[in-house]
Chains A and B, each alone.
Chain A
Amino acid sequence: MQIAVCVKQIPDPGDPPRFDAQTYRLDRSGAIILDDSDAYSVEMALRLAEVAGGEVTAVSVAPDGELSGLRTALAMGVQRAVLVSDPALAGLDALGTAKVLAAVARRVGAELVLAATESTDGYTGTVPVQLAELLAWPALSFARHVELEDGLLRVQRQTEAGYDELRCPPPAVVTVTAGVVEVRYPTMKGILSARSKPVDQLSLADLDLEAAEVGVLGAGQEVVGIEDAPVRAAGTMVTDDGTGHVAVLEALRSWKVI
């Protein structure tokens, strides 16, 4: 089983995010890490490969040749990595990302693609499903448990009430809910062995993709402004002199809650 796991390399959320004043793009000059939410899909992919055999390839798209997040995935045990990096990828939107990932999934012969449900910096949560559509594969979203049995993929999809049980033959795209598995730490040996694992660095041309299809030229969306979230206004204080409940009821009525 060839498993591809999509990972995003994001600015460390521990540092306050900064945006470029002209392009409104996230400033990526500080420390870049593997998105925490992707660590769960990496873990899930490794567990599946340990049981079913096969190889796990971590796939990432970044405009700047960034590898540090992929190195973490390699240190955790992923066998190889593919980075698609091209100056034309700056300003890439979700659909453009999905197009690039689909091209990589085909190129590496993936039979199963795992991804987080959403990234921790962009939070669009749309890329995996777009990817499934582009590959014409089923999308099994919000997985809390994934297993392969007799060549069949079994997924427990988290719902508000509990979970649905899904079954389908591969190939498929599965999105993994954050927090559903305990993620292994990279070991010291894993960290050292990551340096000798293969990392394919591809350009758009390597994938037969045109800049006009992806990147800022192909983007169907444009960020036209960024504003700070409004500071939360001070609430209304009601001193309870025995009629406090009346004030609460009035407030709830005025908000049309009751």
Chain B
Amino acid sequence: MAQATFDPTDPSSIGIELSSEERLVQSTVRSFVADRVVPEVADWFERGVLPVELVPELGELGLLGMHLEGYGCAGTNAVSYGLACLELEAGDSGLRSFVSVQGSLAMFPIWRFGTEEQKQEWLPRMASGAVIGCFGLTEPDAGSDPGAMRTRARRDGGDWVLDGAKMWITNGGIADVAVVWAQTDEGIRGFIVPRGTKGFTTQDIHHKLSLRASVTSELAFDSCRLPGEAVLPGASGLKGPLACLSEARFGIIFGVMGAARTCFEAARTYALDRVQFGRPIGAFQLTQAKLADMAVELEKGLLLAMHLGRLKDAGRLRHEHVSVGKLNNVREALAIARTARTILGANGVTLEYPVLRHAANLEAVLTYEGTTEVHQLALGRALTGLDAFS
């Protein structure tokens, strides 16, 4: 067996461990992102839009709910799903967020906790991109502590009546359907709320400095009446939404390494082109140290993601594993993006280069789906047996 070719973005050749199928998934999504996203994403970011015409294309490729079985979904393994997230986020975290929310936060709860009728009604159209979904858990006053949510659903005859508000909801303003979590007399339950239901309104959040190529919204429910069959029968208590978050966090563990790879590639290319003091800045030891450290962290993050992907495919992934991955990979991806920015100097602050766009996006990714601190505390609890939350 000949030696693997040295790839600067994969110094320890993790790529050779992929199956030919996984490699084809990755190269396909990478081509799609190069063709359809990279040429325009800086403009989307600047204008603060995510073009919805992209959504059916994502559906046609089979990227929406791709790791789910049946109902129009492809049913790939977890590693393939992770690699798709990686390539999408190499384009922009906003795009990956769209796909994560659609597949892991909106489709997954219906797929896992829904009735057969709910699955038939929603999943095929969501897989094709004809219907966009969102996930309502976070509230203005309940972020890291979702158990403190104030949104409430009460029974009224055979119906449910929903009151409350959800905040920081990705895809909210463009969603055709929301999966909403609310307190009930039976504990926290999930509800399928179609757009157009009386009493359900959305308001987009503007003036963001992060995830600008992504729609973020507030959802409001004012005596919103839902039929009895709107509830997801299979989920009761916080473990329902937390299971969804675990799915989405898994995608993030891979995804952010895509953002980091783009930043690393931009910095490496720039370091070879940019001449100061008569030499490319890549010839200076300080720049080389930065590049080497970035490459090492990128590779460690990819190795961790791959390992967790293999664990997930073997059915052995625990939420503590996911915390390790989310905590490490987002933190290191952000550090790589910031370091890349320093190599690009003043050029690094413009949208001509991807690095500060990615760094800004990763600030949001650091916070959503469990902040650094929450994952530290989750791990702290697992390590000590002592619960810092209560």
Contacts and interface: CB of A to CB of B under 8 A. Distances in A.
Interface stretch (B61-69, B164-172, B227-235, B293-301): B61-69
A71 B27 CA distance: 13
Contact of B61 (A15, A16, A188, A195): A188
Interface in B63-102: 63, 66, 74-76, 80, 84
Nearest to B21: A191
Contacts of A195: 21
Interface string B13-28: 0000000110111011
B124 to A, nearest CB: 13
Nearest to B66: A188
A191 B24 contact: yes
Interface in B107-153: none
A189 B62 contact: yes
B1 interface: yes
B28 A29 contact: no
Interface in A1-41: 15-16, 27, 29-31, 33
A186 interface: yes
A75 B24 contact: yes
Interface in A142-189: 185-189
Interface string A177-213: 0000000011111111011000000000000000000
Nearest to A182: B35
A27 B60 CA distance: 36
Given A29-B1, A71-B20, A185-B61, A191 B28 contact: yes
A67 B19 CA distance: 12
Contacts, number: 55
Contacts of A27: 2
B28 A185 contact: yes
B4 interface: yes
B4 A187 contact: no
Binding site of B, secondary structure by majority: helix, strand, loop or mixed?
helix
Given A185-B61, A187-B60, A15 B5 contact: yes
B347 interface: no
A72 B20 CA distance: 9
B76 A188 contact: yes
Contacts of A72: 24
Given A68-B20, A192-B74, A195-B21, A186 B2 contact: no
Given A15-B5, A67-B20, A192 B28 contact: no
Contacts of A31: 5, 23
Interface in B249-305: none
A71 B62 contact: no
B25 A191 contact: yes
A188 B20 contact: no
A75 B28 CA distance: 10
B28 A189 contact: no
Given A192-B74, A192-B75, A192-B76, A186 B24 contact: yes
A29 B61 contact: no
Contacts of B5: 15-16, 30-31
Which 8 A-B residue pairs are closest in the complex by CB-CB distance?
Answer: A188-B62, A29-B2, A188-B74, A187-B62, A189-B74, A188-B66, A68-B20, A15-B5
Interface of A: 15-16, 27, 29-31, 33, 67-68, 71-72, 75, 185-192, 194-195
